[in-house]
């Protein structure tokens, strides 16, 4: 009985928390093990989210790099397998940052005003008139297409899902993040932007970060960060 309750406690401790250790490209999981192209996050064990959106962890939540670089064709859809059900309401956003000439996606840290957003999900009402977001309560983040006009080359791809269930209090939104090392092929000649730095782009009291989602019309939600680049 004692062993059972310890086990149950351990299960309860990670309930509602998650990591995104595997990249999916065009519906296919391209990482046959966790953290191959995706940089292992600091919460790989605890699964807990980041609560301070100005912390250095908001960039990739990682203190390490990944061993390999994934090939991703421009125009492909990308998303991530989640270790637990994504049961907290909130948007999923995707960002890219181009690796500077002379650097490698295997080592570059993503510093500077180099990140642009290319996708962000909006909420809708469920049958009980509660705000829900696409892919909520599933085991994978909502997919987004990398704009076909994105130039070929090496990038860091960043996903974030922002859990807003307690976000009416300051610094109580939870950010779940992963960054993958990718090589975009068959790209175009677009000029992505606007670019922001991470940390830097978010403040604790941004209307999409400190927000009461239990008293909000779906189209009134404003996700944090710049407008998505459409390609
Ligand atoms: C990226 O893809 C291009 C085109 O296939 C290839 O020439 C290049 O070597 C690749 N770079 C890496 C780091 O995989």
pLDDT tens, residue by residue, 35-58: 999 999 999 999 999 999 999 999
Cα 134 to ligand 1 centre (Å): 33
- Give percent of the chain above pLDDT 90: 93
Q: Within a domain: residue 221?
A: no
Flag whether 231 is in a domain.
Answer: no
Average pLDDT of 27-32? 95
Question: What pLDDT is recorded for position 10?
Answer: 47
CATH code of the domain containing 137? 2.70.50.70
- Classify residue 87: in a domain, yes or no: yes
**Whether 113 contacts 196, CB under 8 Å:** yes
Are residues 155 and 96 in contact, defined by beta-carbon separation less than 8 angstroms? yes
Phi and psi of 70, rounded to 5°? -85, 140
Confidence of residue 16 (pLDDT cuts 50, 70, 90): confident
The pLDDT of residue 168 is 97
CA of 114 relative to ligand 1 center, distance in Å: 21
228 in a structural domain: no
- 29 in contact with ligand 1, CB cutoff 6 A: no
Q: What is the pTM of this model?
A: 0.94
Asked if residue 3 belongs to a domain, the reply is: no
What distance in angstroms lies between residue 183's CA and the mean position of ligand 1's atoms? 6
Q: What is the pLDDT of residues 121-143, one digit of tens each?
A: 999 999 999 999 999 999 999 99
Query: Which atom of ligand 1 is found nearest the CA of 153?
Result: 1
Residue 11: inside a domain: no
Tell me how far apart the alpha carbons of residues 185 and 48 are, in angstroms, rounded to a whole number: 34
The whole-number pLDDT of residue 12 equals 47
Query: What is d(CA 34, CA 36) in angstroms, rounded to the nearest whole number?
Result: 6
Confidence of residue 120 (pLDDT cuts 50, 70, 90): very high
Choosing from 25, 71, 186 the residue with most ligand 1 atoms within 8 A of its CB, the one to mutate for a pocket test is 71
What does the pLDDT read at residue 15? 58
227 domain residue, yes or no: no
* Mean per-residue pLDDT of the chain: 94
Tell how far the Cα of 39 is from the centroid of ligand 1, in angstroms: 19
Number of domains in the chain: 1
Cis bond before residue 113 (omega within 30° of 0): no
> Could you tell me if the CB of 183 is within 6 A of ligand 1?
yes
Q: Which atom of ligand 1 is nearest to the CA of 154?
A: 13
Q: Looking at ligand 1, which residue's alpha carbon is closest to its atom 9?
A: 183
> What is the residue range of 193's domain?
17-214
Kindly state if the Cβ of 69 falls inside 6 Å of ligand 1. Answer: yes
Q: Whose CA is nearest to atom 11 of ligand 1?
A: 183
172 in any annotated domain: yes
Beta pairing partners, 73:
185
């Amino acid at each position: 009985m004692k062993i059972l309750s310890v086990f149950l406690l351990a299960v309860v401790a990670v309930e509602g928390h998650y990591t995104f250790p595997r990249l999916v490209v065009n519906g296919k999981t391209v990482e046959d093990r966790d953290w191959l192209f995706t940089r292992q996050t600091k919460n790989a064990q605890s699964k807990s989210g980041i609560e301070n959106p100005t912390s250095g962890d908001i960039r990739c939540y990682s203190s390490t790099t990944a061993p390999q670089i994934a090939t991703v064709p421009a125009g492909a859809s990308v998303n991530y397998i989640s270790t637990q059900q994504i049961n907290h309401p909130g948007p999923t956003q995707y960002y890219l940052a181009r690796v500077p000439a002379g650097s490698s996606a295997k080592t570059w840290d993503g510093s500077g005003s180099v990140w642009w957003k290319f996708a962000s999900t909006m909420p809708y009402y469920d049958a009980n008139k509660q705000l829900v977001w696409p892919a909520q309560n599933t085991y994978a983040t909502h997919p987004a297409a990398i704009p076909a006009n994105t130039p070929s080359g090496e990038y860091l791809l960043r996903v974030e899902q922002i859990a807003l269930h307690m976000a009416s209090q300051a610094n109580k939104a939870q950010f779940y993040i992963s960054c993958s090392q990718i090589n975009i092929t068959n790209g175009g000649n677009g000029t992505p932007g606007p670019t922001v730095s991470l940390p830097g782009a978010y403040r604790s009291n941004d209307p999409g970060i400190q927000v009461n989602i239990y008293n909000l019309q779906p189209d009134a939600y404003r996700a944090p960060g710049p407008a998505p680049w459409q390609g």
